Structure 1
Amino acid sequence: MRKHRTIEQWQVLVDQQIGSSLSAMQFCKQEHIGYASFCNWRKRLSDPSTDDSTGSGEPGFLDLSSLMGTSQSSGPGWNIVLSLGNGVELRLSQNG
């Protein structure tokens, strides 16, 4: 049975491993933790550039209201292309 841990719980485990005299693999075996999961979380917790807004799977939002323009003369002529990877694109258009 898999146990789902919080970020705080993973941080405690990483800190415990660092404070122990065990290698990561030995620690994981002793604590019945998946070694790959432990290494993944250790990397995520030690790398400040890896946060929830960059690729963690959590949804993010981008306010596109600034693209709408404020003057009547500019009109609603927006065109948005989202590149989803693997050659897949989502195109949104509004031309008057």
Structure 2
Amino acid sequence: MGKQRTIEDWQLIFSQFHASGLTVTQFCKQHKLTISNFYKWRKRIEPLPATNSENDIEFSASTDHWQAISVNHHSTDTKQWNIELTLPGGVVLNMRATS
């Protein structure tokens, strides 16, 4: 069984993460943390900031590394589509629909 960390341990971990400049995947691999525990504890310790509206959520590019995407329609057939999503760590998610 893995090491039981205290809330103080996780606060230190998140301070180190913010100072590291690494992605979550890189940081977790380097510090031998599971990504699921990282996000679970980050949600507990670092709740989302208050916003002006319930629908307004701000993401920090320095910690989440969001990437904008655009859709190119090469076909007029809307019943067929193919989506490929490449995730950190080499995971690739493919989704397809054909009529």
TM bucket, shorter chain? 0.3 to 0.5
**What is the TM-score of this pair, normalised by structure 2?**
0.46
Larger radius of gyration: 1
Relative CO higher for 1 or 2, CA cutoff 8 Å, sep ≥ 6? Answer: 2
